Amino acid sequence: MQTQKTHTQKNHTQMFSFEFYPPKTEEGVVGLQTVHSQLAKLKPDFFSVTFGAGGSTRDKTFDTVVDIQSKGIAAAPHLSCVASTKANIRAILNDYRDNGISKIVALRGDIPSGMMSAGEFRYANELVAFIRQETGGHFDIHVAAYPEVHPQAANANDDFKNFKRKVDAGANAAITQYFYNAEAYFYFVDKCEKNGVDIPVVPGIMPITQYAQLFRFSEMCGADIPRWMRKRLEGYGDDREAVQAFGLELVTSLCQRLLDHGAPGLHFYTMNQATPTLAILDNLTL
Ligand code: FAD
């Protein structure tokens, strides 16, 4: 298995981006402004802002995106289509276009428990096709990719075919779910190359600052925490500094390895904190 031969990915210009979630409180808004200004100094290609499935953060995502864009670096809203109508999505796209937004992260999303799924989209490929149909080439469309396989996929091959449907529908780039197994990423981009998928697949990076929440979240989204990592993290118990030092070393070496083998950039899931991401980037030879 030639898992480190990522030639197609080397043809792409490297992209660096930082993801935020829209703050719920005034305090959160002020905090995010500080985080944004710290990370903006690194001149990323864009900041992205998540969107609660079913539209629960619609206004807050919009406000955060417009605020970031007004400060000079591109902002890319996430947009999930599950439980949405075409009219709803059309209105959101028009609002973004009218506000000078030209990048978007197009997703299916997950139906929140208790919410009915009545909507006009089933999968993200349908959203990508709809964006292209409605807005032509205006948006630079990013989609999600799962090197460790999406948890609801019937199998890895079908999941890849479904990923390719999004590319065929008009996606320009992909951002992966976070992972700590670099091999899974190398295998995925090799598969892209073999199947004529030539868009950049940017690794999504989750810094490690604590472990209880990381374990819970990874369980839900299908990210594998290798046994040796889990055991080490558990072993640190309440020693937060030890967890952070281990996390920094581990994620730095993951990022360096990905970049050294041709990854076309990195997308950081910042969790609205600047320090962990800055520490990793500071350690990297870019
Ligand atoms: P899809 O690409 O539609 O895939 C979902 C599942 O359906 C997969 O198992 C796939 O194999 C299968 N599938 C796809 N197409 C077909 C088809 N045509 N026929 C049969 N099966 C199919 N969630 C949010 O709610 N808000 C966010 O802001 C958000 N941001 C994210 C950002 C990134 C970079 C990533 C990686 C994920 C993000 N998510 C977000 C989570 C995402 O919404 C979930 O992982 C969701 O379960 C799948 O979304 P998707 O766009 O990958 O869906």
In this structure, the residue with its CA closest to atom 32 of ligand 1 is 144
Burial class, 79, CB count within 10 angstroms (exposed 0-12 / middle 13-18 / buried 19+): buried
Q: Could you tell me the distance, in angstroms and rounded to a whole number, from the CA of residue 223 to the centre of ligand 1?
A: 14
Q: What pLDDT is attached to residue 3?
A: 54
Question: Is there a domain that residue 84 lies in?
Answer: yes
Q: What pLDDT is attached to residue 117?
A: 64
Return contacts of 133-137, CB within 8 angstroms, 24+ apart: 134/90, 134/93, 135/93, 135/97
Q: What pLDDT is attached to residue 116?
A: 66
Q: What are the pLDDT tens digits along the chain (286 aa)?
A: 445 566 568 788 899 999 999 999 999 999 999 999 999 999 999 999 999 977 888 999 999 999 999 999 999 999 999 989 999 999 999 999 999 999 999 999 988 776 666 689 999 999 999 999 999 999 999 999 999 999 999 999 999 999 999 999 999 999 999 999 999 999 999 999 999 999 999 999 999 999 999 999 999 999 999 999 999 999 999 999 999 999 999 999 999 999 999 999 999 999 999 999 999 999 997 7
Quote the domain boundaries for residue 273.
Answer: 13-283
The pair of structure tokens assigned to 212 is 């209880």
Give the DSSP H/E element, type plus range, for residue 213: helix 212-221
Question: Is there a domain that residue 87 lies in?
Answer: yes
Question: Is there a domain that residue 205 lies in?
Answer: yes
Question: Is there a domain that residue 4 lies in?
Answer: no
Q: What pLDDT is attached to residue 10?
A: 77
CA distance 167 to 172: 7
CB 187 within 8 A of CB 201: no
124 contacts: CB under 8 Å, gap ≥ 6? 81, 106, 107, 108, 143, 144, 166
Model confidence pTM above 0.85: yes
Total domains present in the chain: 1
Nearest to 165 by CA among 116, 132, 202: 132
The domain that holds 255 is classified in CATH as 3.20.20.220
Question: Is there a domain that residue 1 lies in?
Answer: no
Question: Is there a domain that residue 2 lies in?
Answer: no
Q: What pLDDT is attached to residue 2?
A: 47
Give the binding-site residues of ligand 1, using a 6 Å CB cut-off: 50-51, 53, 78, 80, 105, 107-110, 123-125, 144, 150, 152-153, 158-159, 162, 165-166, 175, 177, 204
Question: Is there a domain that residue 7 lies in?
Answer: no
Question: Is there a domain that residue 5 lies in?
Answer: no
**DSSP class per residue in 252-279:** HHHHHHHHHTT--EEEEE-TT-SHHHHH
CB 256 within 8 A of CB 263: no
